[in-house]
């Protein structure tokens, strides 16, 4: 492990967005680590090209989002990051108070750039921007389901206006006509906008190739703002210019870790229920009693003891998952939050017990369940490896107290019927 110099630093305003970006960068050939929060100053990294710092700053108070994002930026710059991407949601989730504008303003002040390119566009996932208006599939943002989002309802599709309400400086537009004339035309337009006092420019993007032009121009600057689409453009720009030597996706996964393997399922999604049924044909499966879990600790201890007797002979699966009817019944007995929290903590207890008993390869099904497990195992970050299923890569723990470890963290509906076996096959 060395203190590697980064080509690209990213600050993501939520965890799942960070994972998506880290996966996108990896697919483009960048060796990428995703960290959980701002890492410790002395975190030892393997040789990597990019680090994505995952924050939970999308919906917190703006001042706090600024402080945390600046701390992340400081860490990334201290590791040599020449360019920093502030990663936001591809639907520009924010209120008129922020947090995109305030964080962008602060990071721009720190970077010394006159103007920042901003776009949430990612045409391959249906997010396009035309004349500054964001479309979600075929409809404008303010007609999409985002208009009813519980935390950040989006009532205005015009991102020039949306961002101007959040930023202290005027916001300009680089339109598709300019973009279609190439990188130098974009550079010229940005220089004009900066000379007139704009601190940011929304840039249109309708086709995937637009992201490459945007990435190439953004790399002239030290800061940009956008979603995984601009991340893809930046990655292609870094590889295309030879600043980064493209690694085969998964090459970064490194040497086998070996050791016992286990799977934990806390997701009750249809896909996960089916995956558990398939796993039952190839490995021992323990179905936890959710009422026992809500009642106390014994169920987690019983599960660890059950697993310890078996893991030397092969992988095992421990599941709390049950059908929608059983979930509803449990929730009516104990309350939805109390039941969910108790089961997540029990899964974290079990993960901790398994790792203490030597498990070094761990597959977790369930978004909240994964969060509880990763927090408990105090894993500061992951090197992103090969994809098991779309959007679910093998993760190698970085800087974990338990040492070398491989994980797969899957939210509910991801993965095919054989997900658990597929994951274990790639986690050597």
Does position 411 interact with ligand ADP (CB under 6 A)? The reply is yes
Q: Does 344 bind ligand ADP (CB under 6 A)?
A: yes
Q: Which stretch binds ligand ADP (CB under 6 A): 129-137, 233-241, 298-306, 336-344?
A: 336-344
Selected range binding ligand ADP among 133-141, 169-177, 214-222, 262-270, rule: CB under 6 A: 262-270
Q: How far is the CB of 427 from ligand ADP (least distance, A)?
A: 20
54 binds ligand ADP (CB under 6 A): no
C-alpha dist (Å) from residue 91 to 119, 162, 228, 248, 314: 10, 12, 11, 30, 43
Among 175, 192, 280, 368, binds ligand ADP (CB under 6 A): 368
**For residues 69 and 11, what is the distance between their CA atoms, to the nearest angstrom?**
7
As measured in angstroms, the least distance from the Cβ of 132 to ligand ADP is: 34
Residue 367 binds ligand ADP (CB under 6 A): yes
**Cβ-based nearer residue to ligand ADP, 91 or 411:** 411
- Residue in 24, 213, 228, 321 binding ligand ADP, rule: CB under 6 A: 321
Q: Which of 43, 137, 60, 139 is nearest to 95 (CA)?
A: 60
Could you say whether residue 327 binds ligand ADP (CB under 6 A)?
A: yes
Contact 48, 7 (CB under 8 A): no
- Cβ–Cβ < 8 Å for 36, 54: yes
Question: Is residue 330 near ligand ADP by the rule CB under 6 A?
Answer: yes
Q: Using the rule CB under 6 A, which residue among 226, 266, 385, 415 binds ligand ADP?
A: 266
Q: How far is CA 404 from CA 350, 361, 387, in A?
A: 19, 9, 19
Closest CA to 90 of 60, 54, 130, 126: 126
Q: Which one of the spans 161-169, 250-258, 315-323, 375-383 is the region binding ligand ADP (CB under 6 A)?
A: 315-323
Structural element, H or E, at residue 19? helix 15-27
Site for ligand ADP in 269-308 (CB under 6 A): 269, 290
- Decide if residue 412 touches ligand ADP (CB under 6 A): yes
Q: How far is the CB of 287 from ligand ADP (least distance, A)?
A: 9
Nearest to 76 by CA among 105, 97, 48, 113: 48
Shortest Å distance, C-beta 126 to ligand ADP: 22
Q: Which segments of 38-82 does DSSP mark as H helices, in order?
A: 62-78
Per rule CB under 6 A, count of chain residues that contact ligand ADP: 21
DSSP, residue by residue, 269-294? -HHHHHHHHHHTTTS-EEE--HHHHH
Name the residue nearer to ligand ADP (CB basis): 226 or 266: 266
How far is the C-alpha of 230 from the C-alpha of 247, rounded, in Å? Answer: 19
Between residues 24 and 411, which has the closer beta carbon with respect to ligand ADP?
Answer: 411
Token pair of 159, please?
């991102």
Q: Number of helices and strands (H, E) in the chain?
A: 15, 18
The site for ligand ADP (CB under 6 A) is made up of: 266-269, 290, 320-322, 326-327, 330, 339-340, 343-344, 366-369, 411-412
């Amino acid at each position: 492990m060395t203190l590697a110099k980064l080509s690209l630093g990213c600050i993501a305003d939520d965890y799942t967005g960070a994972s998506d970006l880290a996966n996108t960068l990896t697919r483009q050939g960048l060796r990428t680590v995703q960290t959980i929060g701002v890492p410790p100053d002395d975190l030892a990294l393997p040789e990597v090209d990019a680090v994505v710092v995952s924050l939970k700053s999308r919906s917190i108070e703006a001042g706090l989002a600024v402080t945390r994002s600046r701390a992340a930026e400081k860490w990334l710059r201290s590791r040599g990051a020449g360019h920093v991407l502030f990663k936001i949601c591809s639907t520009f989730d924010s209120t008129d108070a922020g947090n995109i504008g305030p964080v962008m303003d602060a990071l721009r002040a720190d970077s010394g750039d006159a103007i920042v390119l901003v776009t949430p566009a990612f045409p391959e996932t249906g997010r396009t921007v035309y004349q500054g208006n964001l479309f979600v599939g075929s409809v404008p943002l303010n007609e999409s389901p985002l208009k009813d989002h519980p935390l950040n309802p989006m009532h205005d599709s015009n991102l020039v206006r949306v961002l101007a309400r959040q930023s202290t400086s005027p916001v300009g537009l680089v339109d598709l006509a300019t973009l279609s004339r190439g990188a130098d035309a974009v550079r010229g337009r940005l220089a004009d906008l900066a000379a007139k006092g704009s601190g940011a420019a929304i840039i249109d993007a309708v086709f995937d190739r637009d992201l490459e032009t945007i990435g190439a121009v953004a790399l002239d600057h030290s800061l940009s703002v956008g979603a995984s689409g601009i991340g893809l453009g930046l990655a292609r720009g870094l590889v295309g210019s030879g600043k980064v030597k493209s690694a085969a996706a998964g090459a970064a996964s490194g040497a086998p870790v070996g050791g016992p393997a286990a799977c934990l399922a806390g997701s009750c999604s249809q896909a996960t229920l089916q995956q558990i049924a398939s796993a039952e044909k190839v490995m021992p499966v323990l179905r936890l009693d959710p009422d026992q879990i809500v009642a106390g600790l014994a169920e987690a201890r019983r599960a660890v003891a059950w697993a310890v007797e078996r893991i030397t002979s092969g992988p095992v699966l421990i599941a709390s998952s049950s059908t929608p009817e059983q979930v509803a019944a449990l929730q009516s007995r104990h309350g939805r939050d109390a039941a969910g929290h108790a089961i997540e903590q029990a899964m974290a207890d079990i993960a901790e017990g398994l790792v203490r008993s030597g498990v070094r390869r761990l597959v977790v099904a369930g978004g909240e369940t994964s969060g509880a497990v990763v927090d408990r195992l105090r894993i500061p970050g992951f090197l992103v490896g090969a994809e098991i299923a779309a959007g679910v890569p093998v993760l190698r723990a970085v800087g974990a107290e338990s040492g070398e470890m491989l994980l797969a963290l899957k939210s509910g509906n991801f993965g095919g019927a054989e997900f658990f076996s597929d994951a274990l096959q790639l986690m050597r």
